[in-house]
Amino acid sequence: MLLKVGARMQARSFLQVRIRVNAEIAEAVSNFLFENGASGIAEQENELLAYFDASVREKDIVDPLNTYLSSLQQLLHTDANLTIATEILPQRDWNEEWKKSLRPIRITDNMLVQPSWLAKPIPAPPIVIEIDPEMAFGSGEHATTQLTLQLIEKNVHPDCTVLDVGTGSGILAIAALLLGAGSAVAFDTDAIAAQTARHNAIKNGVSGRLCAFAGTLDALQDRYFDLIVANVNRTQILNMLRRMAGLLDGNGLCLLSGILTEEEEMISVACHQNGLTVESIISDKEWLAFETRKR
């Protein structure tokens, strides 16, 4: 479970809204809920748990949400069974509850991800990444993050330059730097995410080699990278793939994730059309990560 917790999520009662959704629309629904006042959102398999102040009327949340879900179904031409249930939860310290739910996550034999408030395990692997996701995606729990980290470990070489597209908590760029990359640029359209990435870089002792900013690919001109990583979603990948390929130096690598199994052919074709050769695809349940190289 990944819980995105807002600053407003203190010790008080909450209205919990449980929405059963498929992975394709989970991010869009999560953004809608935050825009409509959610203080925190827990992401589970095929389900979102959103938390609102208990003073909020259930009707004021559920009615707009039903309208939004219906519009998504029409847009995506899907008949998925999207259900909503609500419940009032008693007062507790939700930030502490969230912290209790996070545990160290072993990514590979050499790499572990954990929140900064936990003591390092003994014995510890060579790479321990301390990540506090705050309001940004990337605690290390999600399959797409783990898949991308595995490919980063495989492909980082000493002093290489890295671009992290849609950085979230900064976990991918930080991992690359801890594995020996010389420098990394990381950006996100969300200013809170960029700030979180900078905070996490400081915790991991790599802030001097990371430039994290709020913005888009348009801010990067006349810059080229040995390795580009993008753990976003299908739509964002398709929109940015040509520009990402153009930012690769020589026969550089582009690692792509946030891709569902049914989207494999679509992404493979797009890679070919944009001058990228798919060297490997790895998977975890319904999620894929692509290892591609510039031709």
Q: What is the pLDDT of residues 171-202, one digit of tens each?
A: 999 999 999 999 999 999 988 889 999 999 99
Are 110 and 39 in a shared domain?
no
Are 210 and 114 in a shared domain?
yes
Boundary (domain end) residue, out of 99, 114, 141: 99
| Cβ pair 5, 95 in contact under 8 A | yes
Are 136 and 258 in a shared domain?
yes
Are 107 and 218 in a shared domain?
yes
Q: What is the pLDDT of residues 31-73, one digit of tens each?
A: 889 888 888 787 777 788 888 888 889 999 999 999 999 888 8
> Which pLDDT band holds residue 3 (cuts at 50, 70, 90)?
very low
CATH of the domain at 50: 3.30.70.120
Q: What's the confidence (pLDDT) of residue 31?
A: 83
Q: What's the confidence (pLDDT) of residue 30?
A: 86
Are 92 and 152 in a shared domain?
no
> Which pLDDT band holds residue 97 (cuts at 50, 70, 90)?
low
Average pLDDT over residues 16-29: 85
In percent, how much of the chain has pLDDT > 70? 89
Boundary (domain end) residue, out of 99, 122, 143: 99
Are 48 and 116 in a shared domain?
no
Q: Tokens for 252?
A: 């550089």
CATH of the domain at 159: 3.40.50.150
> Is 11's pLDDT higher than 60?
no
Are 203 and 275 in a shared domain?
yes
Q: How many domains does the chain have?
A: 2
Are 52 and 111 in a shared domain?
no
> Which pLDDT band holds residue 8 (cuts at 50, 70, 90)?
very low
Residue 189: CB atoms within 10 A of its CB come to 11
> Is 94's pLDDT higher than 60?
no
Where in the sequence is the domain holding 26, given as residue range(s)? 2-99
> Is 77's pLDDT higher than 60?
yes
Q: What's the confidence (pLDDT) of residue 91?
A: 66
Q: What's the confidence (pLDDT) of residue 98?
A: 62
The mean pLDDT value of the chain amounts to: 88
Are 25 and 146 in a shared domain?
no
Are 191 and 285 in a shared domain?
yes
Are 64 and 121 in a shared domain?
no
Are 91 and 229 in a shared domain?
no
Boundary (domain end) residue, out of 43, 68, 99: 99
> Which pLDDT band holds residue 294 (cuts at 50, 70, 90)?
very high
Q: What's the confidence (pLDDT) of residue 43?
A: 76
Q: What is the pLDDT of residues 218-272, one digit of tens each?
A: 999 889 999 999 999 898 999 999 999 999 999 999 999 999 999 999 999 999 9
Exposed/middle/buried for residue 96 (C-beta within 10 Å: 0-12, 13-18, 19+): exposed
